[in-house]
C-alpha cells in the first residue's frame, strides 16, 4: 500500500507544471517524509546517565536500525531530492546527524556505506578539530562520499537566547561561511540547537541565504514550514522494532 501511494504521488508530481511540482515536493518534505535525528553513535559507558543515553546510540543498535530500514523497504534520501523535483523512491526517509562528534564518522559512516545510504550532517563549528569531534578533512570526506553538510551554529546556544545582530552573525553567518570554505559547496540547511526556534531566527536565516531549517520538539509552523521541519529524535533506548513502529503511517502535524 505504501509503495503504491508513493508511485502515484511521484506520477502526480511529474505531471505538474514546474512551480506546482516545487510546491508539492516542499509539502512532501514537510508533511510526509520522516526525518530522523541522531547524535552520538558509540557504545554506552558506565558513566553515561539514563538521560545522556537518550542521545547515544550503541553501535550495534544503530547497525540494526539501519538494517531494519533497508530490510523493510525504506529508502533514505537527501533533502535536495525532494526540493529539486528528483524522482522519489517508495517509503523515503531522511537521516540526519547533529553536532559533529567523531563517532558519526568512525562508527556510523561505515554502516551507512555498507547500505549505500547518504545522510545530512549538521556541524557545530566551534568543536571542529577538537578531541572526539570531526576535523576539516573528515567533514570534506563526507561531501566527497556524497553526503550533505548543514550548519548547527557555532557553539550550540539556543536561538531563543540571542539578543543582538552580532549573535546571529556569530551563530548563523560565520559558521555557514566556514563550512562552505571546508566543503567547497553552498551550505543552505540549518538545525536549531536543542531543536527550539523562534520567528526572529527564521527571519535571520532567510536573510542570510539559508533554504530550510530543522527543529525537534514543536509542530511544523504553517507560516514557515521549510524553516520548522520536524524531526524524530532517535532515542538510544529504542531497538530496531521501536524505530519502525514510529515510522509506520508517519505524518508530521502542523499547528
- Ordered domains of the chain (ranges, CATH): 2-247 (3.20.20.370)
- The pLDDT confidence band at residue 23, using thresholds 50, 70 and 90, is low
Q: Report phi then psi at 30, rounded to 5.
A: -75, -40
Contacts of 8 by beta carbon, 8 Å cutoff, 6+ apart: none
Q: Would you say residue 5 has pLDDT above 50?
A: no
Length of the chain: 255
Contacts of 125 by beta carbon, 8 Å cutoff, 6+ apart: 151, 152, 153, 154, 174, 175, 178, 179
The three-class DSSP label of residue 248 is coil
Higher local confidence (pLDDT), 191 or 255: 191
Of the CA atoms within 13 Å of residue 148, those in its CB half-sphere come to: 21
Tell me how far apart the alpha carbons of residues 125 and 222 are, in angstroms, rounded to a whole number: 30
pLDDT at res. 228: 95
Q: Would you say residue 64 has pLDDT above 80?
A: yes
Distance of CA 156 to CAs 98, 128, 131, 196, 252, Å?
A: 10, 13, 17, 11, 25
What percent of the chain has pLDDT above 70? Answer: 86
66 neighbors 41 (Cβ within 8 angstroms): no
Based on its alpha-carbon atoms, the radius of gyration of the chain, rounded to whole angstroms, reads 18
- Segment 222-233 shows an average pLDDT of 93
Q: Report phi then psi at 38, rounded to 5.
A: -110, 160
- The pLDDT confidence band at residue 26, using thresholds 50, 70 and 90, is low
193 neighbors 153 (Cβ within 8 angstroms): yes
pLDDT at res. 189: 97
pLDDT at res. 83: 73
Query: Which burial class, exposed, middle or buried, applies to 32 when counting CB atoms under 10 A from its CB (0-12, 13-18, 19+)?
Result: middle
Higher local confidence (pLDDT), 170 or 13: 170
Quote the cell numbers at residue 47. 558513566
Most trustworthy range by pLDDT among 13-17, 89-93, 181-185? 181-185
Mean pLDDT of the chain: 88
Q: Would you say residue 12 has pLDDT above 60?
A: no
- Segment 6-20 shows an average pLDDT of 38
Amino acid at each position: 500500500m505504501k509503495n503504491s501511494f508513493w508511485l502515484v504521488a511521484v506520477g502526480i508530481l511529474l505531471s505538474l507544471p514546474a512551480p506546482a511540482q516545487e510546491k508539492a515536493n516542499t509539502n512532501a518534505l514537510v508533511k510526509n517524509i520522516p526525518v530522523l535525528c541522531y547524535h552520538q553513535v558509540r557504545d554506552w559507558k558506565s558513566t553515561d546517565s539514563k538521560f545522556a543515553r537518550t542521545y547515544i546510540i550503541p553501535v550495534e543498535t544503530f547497525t540494526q536500525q539501519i538494517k531494519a530500514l533497508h530490510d523493510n523497504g525504506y529508502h533514505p534520501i537527501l533533502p535536495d531530492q525532494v526540493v529539486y523535483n528528483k524522482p522519489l523512491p517508495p517509503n523515503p526517509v531522511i537521516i540526519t546527524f547533529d553536532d559533529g562528534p567523531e563517532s558519526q564518522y568512525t562508527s556510523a559512516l561505515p554502516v551507512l556505506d555498507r547500505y549505500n545510504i547518504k545522510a545530512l550532517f549538521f556541524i557545530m563549528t566551534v568543536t571542529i578539530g577538537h578531541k572526539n569531534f570531526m576535523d576539516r578533512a573528515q567533514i570534506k570526506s563526507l561531501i566527497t562520499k556524497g553526503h550533505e553538510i548543514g550548519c548547527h551554529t557555532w557553539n550550540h546556544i539556543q536561538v531563543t537566547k540571542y539578543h543582538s545582530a552580532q549573535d546571529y552573525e556569530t551563530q548563523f553567518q560565520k559558521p555557514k561561511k566556514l563550512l562552505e570554505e571546508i566543503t567547497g559547496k553552498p551550505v543552505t540547511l540549518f538545525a536549531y540547537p536543542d531543536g527550539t526556534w523562534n520567528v526572529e531566527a527564521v527571519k535571520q536565516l532567510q536573510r542570510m541565504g539559508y533554504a530550510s531549517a530543522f527543529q525537534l520538539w514543536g509542530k511544523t509552523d504553517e507560516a514557515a514550514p521549510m524553516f520548522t521541519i520536524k524531526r524524530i529524535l532517535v532515542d538510544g533506548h529504542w531497538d530496531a522494532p521501536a524505530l519502525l513502529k514510529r515510522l509506520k503511517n508517519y505524518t508530521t502535524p502542523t499547528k
